[in-house]
Amino acid sequence: MRIFNTIKFLFSQIARKNWISVIFNYFLVLFITLSDVIFLGIFYLLLNKQVDSKFINIFLDNLNFLNEKYLLNYDLTKVYILFLVFFLILKNILFIFQNYFYSNFIHNITLDKSSKLLSVYFSLDFESFNKKESSIYIKQILRDVDAAFLGIFGLVISFFGEITYIIILLFYLNHLLVFNINVEVVILCIILLFFIIYLFKKSDNLGKLRSFNEIKVFKTLSDTLSIFRELKLNNQSKQFIERYKSFLNNYYKSKIYSGLINISPKFILEFFAIVLFFLLYKESKLDINQFFLKFSVLAVAMLRLIPAFTRLSYYISNIFYNISSIDFIKDDLNRNFNLDKKKIEYKSINNIRLKNVSLSYYSKNSSSPFVILNNFNLSLKKNNIYGIYGLSGSGKTSLLNILVGFIKPQKGRIYYNNQLQIPNKISSKYNISFLSQNPTILDENIIINSTLRFSNTIEDINKIKFYLYK
């Protein structure tokens, strides 16, 4: 099943050391649940005036030194209230700490995977990298990783915590649910189950729609901003803005419908709780006062259970909603990569030679290849300046990419210093610079633009000054 394969994949991405944090988070949830159950138990005893517990008396007898100052002279009602307040405060302190710990853990995992994905893309060769547009890479590094680990993995952890909470609470309340399960309850549960399954399927479809429109939003925005000058000159920005608005509107619609699906189980469960109370009252054969006295703690528990079931439904719905994001990054996260951190001593270049180089491109609209170079030969020597001229699309940029090893030709050989080269290894062995037509590469100062490093030494700065004032 798709969802189980997705969860299995996400779990496989978590390092062993991080599983300690997962287990610790689960135990925090367990302690919060137990504190809440004890709170409900004390509340039930107070509500039913059952404050003569032998266990409590034995406990108090062994704490004589606290009697006068803290335990209010064995006034059991006040002691119970004191315990009630204590477990309420304890539960909330644990809850705040668990949320802080969980948020830090999940965000650190997301940060690690987003950084890993960026490293994977940097390890690709030029041709492989150019198979996707930059807008797709940005979406995958930011949105899809966020959806996968914050939107799915985080929710799976919360899901198991919520299940634990519900099971313990229901187990505790089991002695109150002493009525025969009749046909009406079974039918009601089946209807509820099928309706929730239907909602989850709708969430899955909305997730696919969200993912499709999200790609279009990123692509349209990237394309529009990249041709700012042309759009200004031709006064054609309006149609691009309308196109962007259309895709963004569809994206937000999917989020709105998903939000409605997330809150709808709350109303269904509230209706279910009312019907359940009616059936309990019908089966208990108690008068109305006795019924509310006996089942008052169940009413309080329902105030806990309904939000818990609502959160559970929210988690599952959002898992289905975000599951499509995994398809875009699964293969890339499994990819092995190696970014060489060693300092490389680049070799100087005395000559470059291309021999019988051929390169062709295949168009989407044509089955026959478009020939760029055919048995092309070229010889370049040190200290000479060369110019490449030709019509737009004639292969000038392709030739430069072949020379620096970014593109591997279909046929032919490349020689550097009279030595045969493997194309994708050239840039890691030889001292090559590639300066684009743009006046700047990064939106930074001239030093960073010259070295492409954010940390520069005095030696780097002196070299730049030397060439600037030469």
Per-residue pLDDT reduced to its tens digit, 327-380 = 778 888 877 765 555 555 667 788 888 989 888 877 666 667 788 888 889 898
Domain assignment of residue 340, yes or no = no
Domain assignment of residue 344, yes or no = no
Q: Are residues 46 and 103 in the same domain?
A: yes
Paired tokens of 356? 């019988």
Q: Are residues 266 and 290 in the same domain?
A: yes
Q: Are residues 301 and 388 in the same domain?
A: no
264: nearest Cα among 213, 207, 324, 202: 202
Backbone angles phi, psi at 428, to 5 degrees: -90, -5
What distance in Å separates the CA atoms of residue 395 and residue 397, rounded to the nearest whole number? 6
User: Positive or negative, the Cα torsion across 316, 176, 281, 294?
Assistant: negative
Q: Are residues 136 and 165 in the same domain?
A: yes
Question: Among the three residues 334, 368, 390, which one is the final residue of a domain in this structure?
Answer: 334
CB atoms within 10 A of CB 194: 10
Q: How far is CA 61 from CA 74, 78, 315, in A?
A: 9, 16, 47
Mean predicted confidence (pLDDT) in 453-465: 73
Q: Are residues 451 and 430 in the same domain?
A: no
448 and 442 Cβ atoms separated by less than 8 Å: yes
Q: What pLDDT sits at residue 155?
A: 75
Domain assignment of residue 12, yes or no = yes
Backbone angles phi, psi at 344, to 5 degrees: -105, 130
Mean predicted confidence (pLDDT) in 199-224: 78
Amino acid identity for residue 397 in this structure: T
Checking if the pLDDT of 220 tops 60, the result is yes
Question: Among the three residues 288, 307, 334, which one is the final residue of a domain in this structure?
Answer: 334
What distance in Å separates the CA atoms of residue 461 and residue 103, rounded to the nearest whole number? 42
Domain assignment of residue 34, yes or no = yes
Mean predicted confidence (pLDDT) in 20-32: 85
Q: Where does the pLDDT of residue 163 fall: very low under 50, low under 70, confident under 90, or very high at 90 and above?
A: confident
Domain assignment of residue 343, yes or no = no
What distance in Å separates the CA atoms of residue 126 and residue 123, rounded to the nearest whole number? 9
Backbone angles phi, psi at 420, to 5 degrees: -65, 135
Q: Which residues pair with 420 in a beta bridge?
A: 415
Tell me which H or E stretch contains 307: helix 296-322
Mean predicted confidence (pLDDT) in 375-400: 84
Per-residue pLDDT reduced to its tens digit, 48-87 = 666 555 545 555 555 554 455 555 455 667 777 777 788 8
Checking if the pLDDT of 47 tops 70, the result is no
Cα dihedral 275, 302, 42, 24 in deg (nearest 10): 150
What is the value of pTM for the model shown? 0.63
259: nearest Cα among 192, 208, 313: 313
Domain assignment of residue 311, yes or no = yes
CB atoms within 10 A of CB 67: 13
Q: What pLDDT sits at residue 57?
A: 54
Q: Where does the pLDDT of residue 428 fall: very low under 50, low under 70, confident under 90, or very high at 90 and above?
A: low
Tell me which H or E stretch contains 468: helix 458-468
Exposure string for 124-145, b = 16+ CB within 10 A, e = fewer: beeeeeeeeeebbbebbbebbb
Q: Are residues 308 and 174 in the same domain?
A: yes
Q: How far is CA 417 from the centre of its chain?
A: 48
Backbone angles phi, psi at 458, to 5 degrees: -60, -35
Q: The domain that contains 359 carries what CATH number?
A: 3.40.50.300
Instruction: For residue 260, give the 3-state DSSP assignment.
Output: helix
Range of weakest confidence among 3-7, 123-127, 162-166, 282-286: 282-286
Q: Are residues 383 and 398 in the same domain?
A: yes
Residue span of the structural domain in which 381 resides: 351-434
What average pLDDT is seen over the chain?
75
Amino acid identity for residue 79 in this structure: V
| Beta-carbon-side half-sphere exposure of residue 347 (alpha carbons within 13 Å) | 13
Q: Where does the pLDDT of residue 180 fall: very low under 50, low under 70, confident under 90, or very high at 90 and above?
A: very low
Q: Are residues 67 and 187 in the same domain?
A: yes
Checking if the pLDDT of 186 tops 80, the result is no
What distance in Å separates the CA atoms of residue 355 and residue 409, rounded to the nearest whole number? 11
Q: Are residues 35 and 93 in the same domain?
A: yes
Q: What pLDDT sits at residue 52?
A: 56
What distance in Å separates the CA atoms of residue 461 and residue 242, rounded to the nearest whole number? 47
71: nearest Cα among 57, 89, 55: 57
Q: Are residues 356 and 454 in the same domain?
A: no
Domain assignment of residue 341, yes or no = no
What distance in Å separates the CA atoms of residue 406 and residue 409, rounded to the nearest whole number? 10
CB atoms within 10 A of CB 99: 12
Domain assignment of residue 155, yes or no = yes
Q: What pLDDT sits at residue 178?
A: 46
Q: Are residues 252 and 372 in the same domain?
A: no
Q: Are residues 9 and 61 in the same domain?
A: yes
DSSP E strands, 149-258 = none
Unique residue bearing structure tokens 């954010």? 454
110 and 333 Cβ atoms separated by less than 8 Å: no
What distance in Å separates the CA atoms of residue 219 and residue 126, rounded to the nearest whole number? 20
The DSSP annotation for 355-391 comes to EEEEEEEE-TT-SSEEEEEEEEEEEEETT--------
Residues contacting residue 335 through CB under 8 Å, at least 6 positions apart: 120
Residues of the chain by 3-state class (helix, strand, coil), percent to 5: 70, 5, 25
Q: The domain that contains 230 carries what CATH number?
A: 1.20.1560.10
Per-residue pLDDT reduced to its tens digit, 438-455 = 555 555 666 776 666 667
44 and 297 Cβ atoms separated by less than 8 Å: yes
DSSP 153: I
Checking if the pLDDT of 179 tops 60, the result is no
Per-residue pLDDT reduced to its tens digit, 102-131 = 888 888 888 888 888 888 888 777 777 877
Count of domains in the chain? 3
